[in-house]
Structure 1
Amino acid sequence: MKKALSSREEKAVQTRLRILEAGRTIFIEQGFTKTTISQIIKKAGLGYGTAYVYFKNKDELLIELVDELMNQFYQVAERSFVPNTVEEAQSCIQEQVELFLSIAKQEAKMMSVLNEARGVSTAVAKRWSEIQERFIISITKDITFAQSKGLASNHLNPALIARGWFYANEMFMWESVTGESHFSIQEIREQLTYLYMNGLYHK
């Protein structure tokens, strides 16, 4: 049974949430570079220095917000992948691509902050690298399963193919977030999946 929080602990949890929510708002309004901890504290309606009790700097605060955001993506990437046929695999992969890009588009404001931050913050760039690896590991697992079922070519290196597949999706994700993409999510899903399936899976 989970132990109930004391009033002091509950207050600390609520304060942390206020800081995170204020941080999210200011990051979206100002962008990562222009945002300061002072602005976040003011938005949260807290005393000066309060944020530093919970977060060392704005980089650490953004990383926690990014981790929360990424949970939506992980749910897509790490969903059960146990196809018995190539057709089942293709259906699953198409759905994952569409959901991945759709979430990025829905969360475009925070994703834009992340995109900016990973270019100027060593800590955020490091966390993004860790996030990339988590996705790649998940894709590698799916490819390995497909190979074990005789659906995918065994002469291909699953870790290498997984890396290429993730980076292809990531490129279109950032283009979608920044508004640079001239293609619909459906077009990207169809074309990417076609290339992936015909390069990796047995027909």
Structure 2
Amino acid sequence: MVGRAARENRCKGTNFLDFLRILRQESNEDVCDECIARLPDELRDALRYGAIVRGGWYPIRWYGALHTTARLTGAPQGFARTVGRISTIDDLSGGIYSSFLRIVSPGFLISGAARLFNRYYELGTMDVLESRRGFVRVGCRGCVGFDANIWQDVLGGCEGGLQAARAHDLRIRLVTGGDDGDEHASIEAYFSEQ
């Protein structure tokens, strides 16, 4: 796009609010308070004064800053992935989804999750590239502004979705991309089904 500035990616407010709830659960209130205190001013004030709402859209760089600051203030090792896993399981365990999960296969659930990717991230897509019993491979592209922490969050979300759909003996990994500045990633998961 010559002559036009690239559009900044945004993510949903639910990402921020779930992140802080899970940080409190997985560490403690002091770590969460320290994390908020050390955030960039604009983000810190938005969180402290309730300006971030579940359905709102906020800069992806804010979400990256939240992840980075949490790591620096005592979040447990692997926390980015934990956030994605727990928030996805929580999202899927309520209401109509809980009944749905009893009848769908893990691979089918991931194909649905790929369609829901843009409920959480404004730019970028997730596509199921291959799916068969006990295996799924997804590709993400156009994920402007993602860093390694956000990719780990996405990986954890895939893991949580598969676990919610009763996948066992789960092995999941980034195959390509998924690092700081990467706008793409390929994720593979191997699992057994009940």
TM > 0.5 fold call = no
More strand by share: 2
More helix by share: 1
Please report the TM-score for the alignment, with normalisation by the length of structure 1: 0.29
Please report the TM-score for the alignment, with normalisation by the length of structure 2: 0.29
